[in-house]
Amino acid sequence: MSTPPQPSSTPPSEPQGTPAPGIHDAMTMADTPLVPPQPATPAPTAPATPTTPAPASPAAPAPGFAPPTPAPAPAAPAPFGPTAGAGGPGNPWGPPAAFGGGVPGVPGAPGVPYPVVPRPGGDSNGLAVAALVLGSIGFVLGFFPFVFFLGGLTGAVGIGIGIAAIVRAARVRTGRAMAVAGTVLGVLALGTSVAGFAFTRSIVLDAEERVDRKVRDRIDTPYESRPSTSPKPAPSLPPWARENPAVAFGESVTLDDGITVSLSKPVMYKPSTAYGRKVIKNAVKITATVTNNGTKPLDVVYAVPTVTTESGADGELAFDAVLPEMIQDSIAPGATATGVFAFEVPEGTTRINAGFSPGMLLGKARFTGPIG
């Protein structure tokens, strides 16, 4: 039996004429796929089979020339762009993967939501501010008498707004402290308004008691023991409002500024004309005299006497073709003016009273006496 030939330990040499690979045939960093290395999986080994020695064959003579072996083809370049995962390439022209998209536990990864960042300042809670202001105002107003009810009303409104502010604070997460403080102050405002009511009631009751005491003292004190009060002097009247004491007809009365007046004794008047006798039935005639004893002229505007009977009836100034004779124009210093007047009086009148003033700013002279 012949021994089989042993393989040579020297690797076969490249045939002559085979070109060596160039620098461009080498794989660069850009050509290297951006794929993390995968652990090599060992190939399953087949169970060893017993070898059967082959029959010996005559050794073939070593050839002197072998045909050339083609060079291996270069590896395909890796696709541009991120990979879809550890298993193979993704879309080379697609958008880049999200930050942290492939790292577990980082926001943006599958199953991990982005955190919600609150806005600077957050939502405001104006109800909390309103509750605090109303509660404070009601708390202060409740102490004041006579306006305590305003404190109670303000406090009640503050309580309602404060409760609404607490509910809103649970949603916007701000203003809870102010809302609670406003609600508490509103409750305290109700208490202070009750105290203000009690204080006001005590003031009113005390005032009523004082008034009742004064009234009782006034009633129980005898009239003789009351302090006497001296009568106050009457205020001085201006000249035009003064009335001098009554004098008899025919006498003279001196007024202010040296003006002297007098009225003659009244006599029954008999009209001289038919018209007078027709319109005048029962009249008395009076002559008025004005003397200016002053230093300035006296301007007479309306100088007519007034007549009343003893029963209080007014005499009516009579007009006919003769009377009245009016005192008009101005009376110079030292001059005298007269006027004649007739007054209708009820039949049977025997006595009359008369008043006379030659000017509005002068006093009035009063006369009295019988007719006739």
| 74-92: pLDDT as tens digits | 555 555 444 444 444 545 5
Crossing angle, helix 176-220 and helix 148-172, to 10 degrees? 170
| CA distance linking residue 180 with residue 171, whole number of Å | 15
Q: Which residues contact 96 (CB under 8 A, 6 or more apart)?
A: 82
Q: Does one domain contain both 280 and 192?
A: no
Q: Does one domain contain both 245 and 138?
A: no
For 291, counting Cβ atoms within 10 Å of its Cβ (0-12 exposed, 13-18 middle, 19+ buried), the class is buried
State residue 338's pLDDT score: 92
185-241 pLDDT per residue, tens:
999 999 999 999 998 988 988 888 888 888 777 776 554 455 555 555 555 545 444
Q: Does one domain contain both 311 and 255?
A: yes
Which domain covers residue 144, as residue numbers? 126-208
State residue 240's pLDDT score: 44
CA torsion 287→293→296→300, rounded to 10°?
A: -10
Instruction: Quote helix, strand, coil % in the chain, to nearest 5.
Output: 25, 15, 55
In 3-state terms, what secondary structure has residue 280? Answer: coil
State residue 369's pLDDT score: 93
State residue 71's pLDDT score: 56
| CA distance linking residue 218 with residue 215, whole number of Å | 5
* Domain contains 24: no
State residue 94's pLDDT score: 53
Q: Does one domain contain both 286 and 362?
A: yes
Q: Does one domain contain both 275 and 326?
A: yes
State residue 74's pLDDT score: 57
State residue 39's pLDDT score: 53
Q: Which residues contact 45 (CB under 8 A, 6 or more apart)?
A: none
* Domain contains 215: no
CA torsion 270→274→277→279, rounded to 10°?
A: -140
* Domain contains 257: yes
Residues 172/122, Cβ–Cβ less than 8 Å: yes
State residue 210's pLDDT score: 86
**pTM value surpassing 0.75:** no
Phi, psi angle pair for 17, to nearest 5° = 95, -5
Low-confidence ranges of the chain (pLDDT < 70): 1-123, 220-243
| CA distance linking residue 195 with residue 298, whole number of Å | 76
- Mean pLDDT, all residues of the chain: 74
Alpha carbon 208 to chain centroid, angstroms: 38
Residues 139/185, Cβ–Cβ less than 8 Å: yes
| Number of domains composing the chain | 2
Of 208, 230, 255, which residue is a domain's last?
208
State residue 61's pLDDT score: 46
Q: Does one domain contain both 157 and 258?
A: no
Of 208, 226, 254, which residue is a domain's last?
208
Percent of the chain with pLDDT over 70: 60
